[in-house]
Copies of this chain bind each other. A is one copy, B any other.
Amino acid sequence: MATHKVTSLEVARLAGVSQSAVSRVFTPGASASKKTVEKVRKAAKELGYRPNVLARAVVSGKSRIIGLVVAYLNNQFYPEALEKLTNALQERGYHVLIFMASHQAGNIDNVVEEILDFQVDGIIAASVALSSDLSDRCRAAGIPMVLFNRAQDDPAMSAVSSDNIAGGRKAAEFLLAGGHKKIGYIAGWEGASTQRDREAGFLSELSDAGMELHVRGVGNFVTEEAQEATRRMFATDPPDAVFVANDHMAIAVMDTLRFELGLKIPEDVSVVGYDDVAVAAWPSYNLTTVRQPANRMVAETVDILLSKIEDPDVSAHRVEIDGPLIVRGSARIPEGWNR
């Protein structure tokens, strides 16, 4: 067993071939005779040789590394997405370098700079917005990037999300059909496109029905802030139904409603969330929510990114995937509801 790094040259010597022959044997699309391949493989195994992918990356210009920026992992949607993204990429021969970024703009820019230092082949930015300056740098560096679960005005930027506007509408439609008259909304972080779109869809459906929002609070996608918003909302202007911008907050809202305020769900108040994370299905919450189809979002994201890596000329893609409303027990179910 070798105790130091084994190089292709050593393998070549043992196999009695040139160093480039070894390289070819380990390069997917290269040509080598059956005999060479055999000799090389044998020698390689004997020495425990494996190609140094970093050196390969330096000369080929392809690192097969994808930089993944993610803001927080406490919203359960993200670990799930992260796992699926990593697996999907791994299956296609790419690896993930992970970067945590707080959602303040300044930080992100530094992070992206660091990512670029690694000569990544592409970047996936999950739920973070970056300055247009930064997108320019990436474009200049020729590094494809796709936004996951976030949209951006820049039409040159690829982005994959659920159809948040349609999703917001579905939530409103359901609450309306349930006969609710005083409908409240707890918003996420206002800088997020997901927040804006969900609210926009929700409000326009309401207004199409000739109704307006009864009361509004802001939870910033943060547990504690969502709870605080709930308390304020119910202290002053209690609604009979609340749409919460994501499940992570909706769970907190439900607990506050039930355990602090002593309200019954859905008898006293209906709650609808967004995402359909795993917790939403747990009996303790049984949350009615709009599903974000994580599998399809991930598949789209990976497809878009890799095709742009393989052919830099393909244009930007923006995909919004429609997700169904998952009806459970946290909101009153309208008579004869069945879609």
> Chain A interface (Cβ within 8 Å of chain B)?
1-5, 48, 50-55, 57-58, 63, 65, 72-74, 76, 78-80, 82-83, 86-87, 90, 95-100, 113-114, 116-119, 136-137, 140-142, 251, 254-255, 258-260, 278-279, 282-285
Instruction: Check A79–B86 contact: CB distance below 8 A.
Output: no
Residues of B within 8 A of A83 (CB): 72-74, 100
Nearest B residue (CB) for A141? B5
CA separation between A86 and B63, bound complex, in Å? Answer: 21
Residues of B within 8 A of A278 (CB): 74
CA separation between A5 and B97, bound complex, in Å? Answer: 20
CA separation between A65 and B3, bound complex, in Å? Answer: 21
CA separation between A294 and B74, bound complex, in Å? Answer: 14
Nearest B residue (CB) for A111? B90
Q: Which of B4, B55, B95, B119 contacts A52 (CB 8 A)?
A: B119
Instruction: Check B137–A118 contact: CB distance below 8 A.
Output: no
Instruction: Check B99–A90 contact: CB distance below 8 A.
Output: yes
Instruction: Check B53–A118 contact: CB distance below 8 A.
Output: yes
Instruction: Check B137–A48 contact: CB distance below 8 A.
Output: yes
Q: Which 8 A-B pairs have the closest CB atoms?
A: A79-B79, A73-B79, A259-B283, A284-B284, A255-B283, A73-B83, A53-B117, A55-B58
Instruction: Check A73–B82 contact: CB distance below 8 A.
Output: yes
Q: In whole Å, how far is A111's beta carbon from the nearest beta carbon of chain B? A: 9
Known contacts A5-B141, A50-B113: A79-B90 contact under CB 8 Å: no
CA separation between A76 and B4, bound complex, in Å? Answer: 39
Residues of B within 8 A of A141 (CB): 5
Instruction: Check A58–B52 contact: CB distance below 8 A.
Output: yes
Residues of B within 8 A of A97 (CB): 65, 95-98
Instruction: Check B82–A1 contact: CB distance below 8 A.
Output: no
Q: In whole Å, how far is A78's beta carbon from the nearest beta carbon of chain B? A: 7
Q: In whole Å, how far is A110's beta carbon from the nearest beta carbon of chain B? A: 11
CA separation between A284 and B256, bound complex, in Å? Answer: 10
Residues of B within 8 A of A98 (CB): 82, 86, 95-98
Instruction: Check B117–A51 contact: CB distance below 8 A.
Output: yes
Task: Give me 10 A-to-B residue pairs in the complex whose CB atoms sit less than 8 angstroms apart, sorted by A's number.
Answer: A3-B140, A5-B141, A50-B117, A51-B117, A53-B117, A54-B54, A54-B63, A90-B99, A95-B98, A95-B99
